[in-house]
Amino acid sequence: MLQEKILYLISVYGYIGIFLALVFGIIGLPIPDEVLLTFAGFLVTKGKMDFFWVVCIAFIGSIIGVSVSYMIGYCLGWPFLKKYGKYLHIDDRSFYKTEKWFDKYGKYAIVIGYFIPGIRQLNAYYAGITKRPYMRFAFYANVGGFLWVTTFVTLGVFVGERWEVWVQSFHRLAVVVLMIICMGMGIYYVLRKKSK
């Protein structure tokens, strides 16, 4: 099973394993990023890793992952993704879904999108393909990446041995919370438009 192989990679190669897994996970390979980060937090409680270094290495991996994805989108564009996207689990439906999400919520989509598997990967490609300014995109991507990394590593530290159960619960809770946030933002946007 892929998840077990990834966790084994982290156990054996430590920080390098975390770094590589996050870079390739954000580029689009089917790597369970949240599971990886929570497991790393669990390893902190066992004294096998240091919290500060886990967060730093994971954050750097996420920055490089989104930057590479952005550059692929920017340089090669939609025709490339249309042809080879299936290898990165990207299709027309998921891309247009991201487009609607991005147009509706803009910069918030980049930050919040980190907590949604699939959106996290596609945000960077979409920003590159549509030629959004890199520095502006990178600022919000880095904020989102730092919050995402810190949240899941800290979760792993707090829940310890029960980290697997909590990852599943967190995913369900995150979906509900994000739906509420999106609905709230949508209502706010409509009311604001009407008041103008």
Domain that includes residue 86, residue range: 2-195
Burial of 161 (0-12, 13-18, 19+ CB in 10 A): exposed
Total-model pTM = 0.74
Number of domains in the chain: 1
For residue 146, the model assigns a pLDDT of 94
Q: Which residue numbers in the chain have pLDDT < 50?
A: none
CA distance 120 to 118: 5
Phi, then psi, of 58 in degrees rounded to 5: -65, -40
The pLDDT assigned to 162 comes to 67
pLDDT (0 to 100) of residue 94: 67
pLDDT attached to residue 5: 67
In 3D space, the residue among 177, 32, 136 whose CA is nearest the CA of residue 124 turns out to be: 136
Tell me, what's the pLDDT at 175? 64
